[in-house]
Amino acid sequence: PDDAPPKDEL
Partner 1 sequence: MNIFRFAGDMTHLLSIIVLLLKINATKSCAGVSLKTQELYLLVFVTRYLDLLYSYISLYNTFMKLFFICSSGCVIWYIREHKTVSQTYDSAQDTFRVLFLACPCMILALTVNHDFTVTEVLWTFSIYLEAVAILPQLVLLQRTKNVDTLTGNYVFLLGGYRALYLLNWIYRILTEPGYRQWIVWISGTIQTAIYCDFFYYYIKSWRNNERLSLPS
For binding to partner 1 (CB under 8 A), which residues are involved? 1-10
- Cα–Cα distance between 4 and 9 in angstroms, integer? 14
Quote the DSSP letter at residue 3.
S
User: Least distance to partner 1 from the beta carbon of 3, Å?
Assistant: 7
Q: How far is the CB of 2 from partner 1 (least distance, A)?
A: 7
Cα gap 6→3, rounded to integer Å: 9
Nearest distance from C-beta of residue 10 to partner 1, angstroms = 5
